[in-house]
């Protein structure tokens, strides 16, 4: 039984629908297999995307930032295109889910590579701020997963490729790891890739 869609995933599907309409109105091609996430951020949310190498504060390295007030997303320029696409989608997720409704104070989100892979809030006794951070990371990742790998498209392509992760990842222009996490989430079995 596949899991029910979470609110972040439902929101991402709504954003894709909106993008399809807006792209069409502008005469831009729209394809749910390789969504142009940078163009989507610009057209739908007026968000600019900058790529900066060595994105760090002090010792800490980051994969992506969102400054909601400045309408700016910054991603690590040296990361592979697959990771940059995911980071942009993740920051758009923070913008839509956490910045626009202002459910949390602060308009700046700074996300590490580890944050981009958080798919469950760890059990334990973290501080309230830590738990909120983890919950928001999980939500941004679910949003990004649905935005870049929409469930209907994944299910269709899953049949075509026989569930081969490498082929699926190539179709959606994402990393094999992101594809595996997405297939797990959708309850679709796959053979773990050799790494
Ligand atoms: Zn984040």
For 25-42, the pLDDT digits (tens) are: 998 888 878 889 999 999
CATH number, domain of 16, equals 1.10.10
168 CA distance to ligand 1 middle (Å): 25
In-domain check, residue 194: no
Q: State pLDDT tens for residues 43-61.
A: 999 999 999 998 888 888 9
Give yes or no for a contact between 75 and 51, defined as CB atoms under 8 angstroms apart.
yes
pLDDT in the model for residue 104: 58
Count of domains in the chain? 1
Describe the crossing of helices 128-148 and 81-94 by its angle, rounded to 10 degrees: 120
128 CA distance to ligand 1 middle (Å): 17
In-domain check, residue 114: yes
**Which band of pLDDT confidence, cut at 50, 70 and 90, is reported for residue 191?**
confident
Task: Give the mean pLDDT of 114-134.
Answer: 85
Structural domain that includes position 27: 7-149
pLDDT in the model for residue 86: 97
In-domain check, residue 165: no
49 CA distance to ligand 1 middle (Å): 15
Cα 124 to chain center, whole Å?
A: 26
In-domain check, residue 164: no
Is 109 strand, coil or helix?
strand
In-domain check, residue 161: no
In-domain check, residue 182: no
In-domain check, residue 156: no
105 CA distance to ligand 1 middle (Å): 15
Q: Average pLDDT of the chain?
A: 91
pLDDT in the model for residue 28: 86
């Amino acid at each position: 039984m596949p899991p029910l869609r979470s609110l972040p995933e439902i929101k991402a599907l709504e954003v894709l629908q909106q993008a399809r309409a807006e792209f069409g109105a502008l005469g831009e091609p729209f394809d749910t297999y390789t969504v142009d996430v940078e163009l989507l951020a610009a057209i739908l949310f007026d968000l600019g995307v900058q790529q900066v190498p060595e994105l760090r504060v002090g010792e800490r390295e980051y994969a992506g930032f969102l400054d909601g007030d400045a309408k700016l997303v910054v991603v690590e320029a040296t990361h592979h295109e697959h990771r940059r696409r995911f980071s942009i989608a993740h920051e758009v997720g923070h913008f839509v889910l956490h910045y626009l409704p202002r459910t949390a104070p602060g308009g700046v989100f700074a996300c590490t590579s580890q944050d981009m892979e958080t798919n469950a809030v760890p059990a334990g006794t973290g501080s309230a701020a830590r738990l909120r951070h983890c919950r928001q990371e999980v939500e941004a990742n679910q949003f990004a997963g649905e935005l870049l790998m929409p469930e209907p498209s994944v299910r269709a392509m899953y049949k075509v490729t026989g569930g081969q992760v490498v082929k699926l990842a190539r179709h959606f222009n994402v990393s094999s790891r992101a594809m595996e996490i997405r297939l797990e989430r959708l309850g679709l079995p796959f053979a773990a890739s050799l790494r």
